[in-house]
Structure 1
Amino acid sequence: MEGQQGEQNKSRIVKIDSVESWDYYVSQANSQGCPIVVHFTASWCMPSVAMNPVFEELASSYSDVLFLTVDVDDVKDVASKMEVKAMPTFLLMREGAVVDKLVGANPEEIKKRIDGFVQSIRVFIA
């Protein structure tokens, strides 16, 4: 059982570790018309840590969305550039612009927002 679980849990979330990696992934996603969901987190913030499995689950559910995670202590410049002041903060982005922002650990609300976000994009593309 344990072996299977390890293979299943290959993360689809990209961990941002620098301003350069942020710029790279955001510009790649923009050029491909790929929506982005970002989780701004901190290792010391328990609500953020509690949202990690929820974020993993969402990343597995939406294969056509780029999921990024940013530790605000590791990449302060990105957090300040995106005006993140509390953890966890979730940003939903399209074409380089933030289209929605959710502050706080609310699994049901983030699922609902991402679902609505993805639906609106599918309609937008079609």
Structure 2
Amino acid sequence: MGSILSALRRERSSSSSSSSGGAEASSEPSRILVFHSAEQWKQHLHSSKDTSKLMVIDFFASWCGPCRYMEPILKGFSVKFTDVDFVQLDVDELSDVAQEFGVQAMPTFVLMQGGNEIDRMVGAKKDELERKIEMNRSRHVGAKRTI
């Protein structure tokens, strides 16, 4: 499983860095996992049920301006919050997964822990997303709430 995750890690294009809205550029490689198949995503989701580690899922689309704005911000968060898993799922590639999560607008960020959704945010709101990550990253599985 570790080799699959390593193979899925990739640095996102820096083409949107000019629209980053003041986000600090980082020379660090991205720690964001990008899944291109529903099967790989389901394997990762299943394995995450056995951990209390926070996972932030970014449902995005390549044509979405606010998604491109959030891309370098999410990369920076992935470097800052090394105790959090960051995942990006393209709604056009994985439309069934997006539908299962009830995604209706992009970007949608779903925060999960122990396989359960604990929080959600729609829109390109850097400060709100950072606050939600800070608030939820130290929670234990027993403290989750069902949405």
With the shorter chain as reference, the TM-score category is: 0.7 to 0.9
1:75-112 alpha-carbon deviations (Å, 9 max, x no partner): 11110011111000000001111110000000010001
Distance in 1 (alpha carbons) for counterparts of 2:78 and 2:34? 13
- Are the equivalent residues in 1 in contact too, given 2:54–2:85 (CA < 8 A)? yes
Instruction: Tell me if the contact between 1:29 and 1:66 (Cα under 8 Å) persists in the aligned partners.
Output: no
Residue type of the partner of 2:78?
Answer: A
**For the Cα contact (< 8 Å) 1:13–1:56, is it kept in 2?**
yes
Which consecutive unaligned segments of at least 5 residues does structure 1 have? 1-6
Shift of residue 121, structure 1, vs aligned partner = 3.7
- Report the RMSD for the aligned CA atoms in angstroms: 1.9
Query: Are residues 1:77 and 2:96 paired?
Result: yes
Q: Distance in 2 between matches of 1:28 and 1:13?
A: 17
Partners of 2:32 and 2:88 within 8 A in 1: yes
Identical residues among aligned pairs (%): 33
Structure 1 position 53, deviation (Å)? 0.6
Matched, 1:119 2:141: no
Q: Which residue number corresponds to residue 7 of structure 2?
A: none
Q: CA deviation at 1:29?
A: 2.1
Q: Which residue pairs with 1:3 in the alignment?
A: none
Distance in 2 of aligned mates of 1:110 and 1:43: 20
Q: 2:74 aligns with which of 55, 63, 68?
A: 55
In structure 2, the gaps of 5 or more residues are 1-25
Do 2:51 and 2:113's aligned partners in 1 also have CA atoms closer than 8 Å?
Answer: no
CA distance in 2: counterparts of 1:83 and 1:95, whole angstroms: 19
1:109 paired to 2:128: yes
- Count of aligned residue pairs for this structure pair: 118
Higher helix content, 1 or 2: 1
One-letter amino acid of the structure 2 residue matched with residue 38 of structure 1: I
SS in structure 1 at match of 2:104:
coil
